[in-house]
């Protein structure tokens, strides 16, 4: 009965679109769902696609719960209304827009540009696809008040998305995010949207911003002499059909690397991502063609960026000559160690430098920072929170770098979001620096583990789609929050961090401590043996994420594989103990 009532309600909403001022293509898509796909109709109309704290993300198609020119248009009008209130005292308001390779991305970008122009804004629109970090850079370079990136990051091909940025080049945070959400919610109908603004208000940009951005990336170099001596380092790079296709190879060449090996099939810009199931560099399958190319050419480093060019997957050669994928924590560890080592060697550490990581990213980064006497911050998941720390420390301290476990890293503060371009060149430079010492990147990682501890992390995603799925995910969070485990895999739970309640519970002393970070639906359990389990619903996908971290001393490089296996087995035992796998 409940499903029948929901379908009836959905049909009413769908009929409003059929009767309204929507284009014929949209109406035909709705009619087809009404005839043939009642479940699809429900999912397309049972709610409005939520403009969340990061913007929009969803499946493309007709409906209130889909990415289309109308939902994008209403979101843009709401953002425009907020910008007009916030910057009412300014003579001009300007925005910059970019997009990735996805189907409809150019259409959505041009739609957004037209609406901003219709609201009287000065609009900068990139001539073609550009990476997310360049959009972030362009906002500050062009002195804009806001920016929009059309992308669904590494989601499957059916998705698209909309990221909103503030004048500092970072994605919006409180209080702006909630206020923008409120303005978007007030736009009830496309008739409220100022589509088709004057073309003369839209300026097409490209090469000038590219050059300025590349100069900033190139200026990051810390060991150009090592690059010069090892310029022929064989590097396989793939953009996985996305925005890194020109910018990453160009940046590597600017650094001085001369042996960049392409994967021609994946240099083709294509929103259908024809060579992969998912364009996610976190997944082994997305790198298969690049790994094969590495074996064919004898390359020792593989790099793959996601469609919008902000995340980077890495693979390196092991002592058996086989390619081994690094996870995001390992990439962030190597980069942090390299950056701090070179800053120290170049006498650039003055006591006013810092790095930032997220609460679900390896604690090894914090150990490295402490060793070098560099302050580090823990923030909520998402680079907007790293950017917030940069904003707070502006002109008082120097940001060296920061990252998160989900394959994102940022070096320097000229970009205020994760950046696969600067990460790629710095990782290549780290490899050249390691070569100077007769080591591979994996050798360097083993050295770090021996000096500190072998931290091993893993991620488990449990996907639950649709309305029922969202309810199941919330039920899982409620179960762990209200019936938390006292032991995990035989180890006593010492601390519980509940970021929604902004409270830490010390189970040893039975004391409570206030968490100063903003509220977020995240739970963490810390055990007496140093293991950590974190859980949170994804803000962009229909899934709940479980993060696992365990550690053990690594005595010798020869013990690496054995210790790696033991830690992996420990993580699997934790998953079973928590009832997450059978």
Give the chain's domains with CATH numbers: 1-46 (no CATH), 53-205 (3.40.120.10), 226-451 (3.40.120.10), 454-577 (3.30.310)
Q: How confident is the model at residue 435 (pLDDT cuts 50, 70, 90)?
A: very high
Number of CB atoms found within 10 A of residue 242's CB: 30
**pLDDT tens-digit profile of 23-54?**
999 999 999 999 999 999 999 999 999 887 77
**Confidence at residue 4, expressed as pLDDT on a 0 to 100 scale:** 75
Number of CB atoms found within 10 A of residue 402's CB: 30
Contact criterion met (CB below 8 Å) for 500 and 515: no
Can you give 356-393 as a three-state secondary structure string? EEECCCCCHHHHHHHHHCCEEEEECCCHHHHHHHHHHC
Q: How confident is the model at residue 1 (pLDDT cuts 50, 70, 90)?
A: very low
Could you tell me which residues come within 8 angstroms of residue 6 by beta carbon, excluding any fewer than 6 positions away? 42, 46
Assigned token pair, 454: 């072998």
Exposed / middle / buried, residue 164 (Cβ in 10 Å: 0-12, 13-18, 19+): buried
Q: How far apart are CA 406 and CA 421, in angstroms?
A: 16
Residue 462 has pLDDT above 90, yes or no: yes
DSSP code per residue over 121-138 = -EEEEESS---HHHHHHH
Contact criterion met (CB below 8 Å) for 471 and 479: no
**pLDDT tens-digit profile of 296-330?**
999 999 999 999 999 999 999 998 999 999 999 99
**Confidence at residue 294, expressed as pLDDT on a 0 to 100 scale:** 98
Residue 2 has pLDDT above 70, yes or no: no
**pLDDT tens-digit profile of 217-272?**
999 999 999 999 999 999 999 999 999 999 999 999 999 999 999 999 999 999 99
Exposed / middle / buried, residue 46 (Cβ in 10 Å: 0-12, 13-18, 19+): middle
Q: How confident is the model at residue 541 (pLDDT cuts 50, 70, 90)?
A: confident
**Sign of the dihedral through C-alpha 377, 380, 383, 384:** negative
Contact criterion met (CB below 8 Å) for 141 and 102: no
* Helix/strand/coil for 294: helix
Annotated catalytic residue, options 94, 105, 146, 153: 153
DSSP code per residue over 378-443 = EE-SSHHHHHHHHHHTTTTSEEEEEEETTTEEEESSSSSS--HHHHHHHHHHHHHHHHHTT--HHH
* Helix/strand/coil for 144: coil
Catalytic residue status for 191: no
**pLDDT tens-digit profile of 508-529?**
998 999 999 999 999 999 999 9
**Confidence at residue 513, expressed as pLDDT on a 0 to 100 scale:** 96
Contact criterion met (CB below 8 Å) for 66 and 42: no
Could you tell me which residues come within 8 angstroms of residue 221 by beta carbon, excluding any fewer than 6 positions away? 227, 255, 425, 429
Mean pLDDT of the chain: 95
């Amino acid at each position: 009965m409940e499903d029948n009532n929901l379908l009836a309600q959905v049909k009413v909403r769908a009929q409003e679109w059929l009767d309204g001022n929507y284009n014929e293509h949209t109406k035909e898509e709705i009619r087809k769902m009404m005839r043939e796909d009642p479940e699809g109709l429900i999912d397309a109309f049972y709610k409005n696609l939520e403009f969340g704290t990061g913007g929009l993300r969803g499946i493309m198609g007709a409906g209130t719960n889909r990415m289309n020119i109308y939902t994008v248009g209403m979101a843009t009008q709401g953002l425009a209304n907020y910008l007009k209130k916030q910057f009412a005292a300014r003579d001009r308001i300007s925005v910059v827009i970019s997009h990735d390779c996805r189907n409809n991305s150019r259409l959505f970008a041009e739609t957004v540009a037209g609406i901003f122009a219709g609201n009287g804004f000065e609009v900068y629109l990139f001539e073609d696809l550009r990476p997310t970090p360049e959009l972030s850079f362009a906002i500050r370079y062009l002195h804009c008040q806001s920016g929009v990136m059309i992308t669904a990051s590494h989601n499957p091909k059916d998705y698209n998305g909309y990221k909103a940025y503030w004048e500092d080049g970072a994605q919006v945070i409180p209080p702006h995010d909630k206020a923008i959400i409120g303005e978007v919610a007030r736009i009830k109908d496309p008739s409220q949207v100022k589509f088709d603004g004057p073309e003369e208000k839209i300026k097409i940009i490209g090469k000038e911003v590219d050059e300025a951005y590349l100069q900033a990336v190139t200026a990051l170099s810390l060991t150009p002499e090592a690059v010069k001596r090892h310029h022929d380092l064989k590097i396989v790079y793939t953009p996985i059909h996305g925005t890194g296709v020109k910018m990453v190879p160009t940046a590597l060449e600017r650094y001085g690397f001369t042996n960049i090996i392409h994967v021609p099939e994946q240099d083709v810009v294509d929103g259908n991502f024809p060579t992969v199931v998912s364009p996610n560099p976190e997944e082994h399958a997305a790198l298969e063609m690049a790994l094969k190319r590495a074996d064919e050419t004898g390359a020792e480093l593989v790099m793959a960026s996601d469609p919008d060019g902000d995340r980077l997957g890495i693979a390196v050669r092991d002592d058996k000559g086989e390619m081994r994928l690094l996870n995001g924590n390992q990439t962030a560890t190597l980069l942090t160690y390299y950056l701090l080592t070179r800053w120290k060697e170049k006498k650039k550490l003055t006591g006013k430098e810092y790095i930032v990581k997220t609460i679900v990213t390896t604690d090894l980064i914090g150990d490295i920072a402490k060793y070098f006497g560099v302050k580090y911050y823990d923030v909520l998941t998402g680079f907007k929170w790293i950017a917030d720390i940069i904003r707070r420390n502006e002109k008082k301290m120097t940001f060296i770098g920061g990252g998160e476990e989900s394959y994102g890293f940022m070096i320097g503060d000229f970009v205020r979001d994760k950046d696969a371009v600067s990460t790629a060149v710095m990782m290549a430079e780290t490899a050249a620096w390691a070569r100077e010492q007769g080591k591979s990147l994996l050798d360097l990682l083993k050295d770090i583990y021996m000096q500190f501890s072998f931290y091993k992390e893993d991620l488990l995603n449990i996907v639950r789609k649709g309305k029922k799925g969202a309810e199941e995910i919330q039920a899982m969070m409620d179960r762990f929050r209200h019936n938390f485990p006292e032991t995990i895999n035989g180890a006593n739970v010492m601390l519980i961090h509940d970021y929604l309640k902004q409270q830490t519970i010390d189970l040893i002393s039975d004391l409570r401590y206030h968490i100063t970070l903003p509220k977020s639906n995240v739970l963490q359990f810390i055990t007496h043996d140093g293991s950590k389990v974190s859980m949170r619903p994804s803000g962009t996908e229909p899934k709940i994420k479980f993060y696992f971290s365990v550690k053990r001393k690594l005595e010798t490089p020869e013990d690496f594989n054995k210790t790696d296996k033991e830690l992996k087995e420990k993580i699997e035992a934790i998953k079973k103990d928590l009832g997450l796998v059978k």
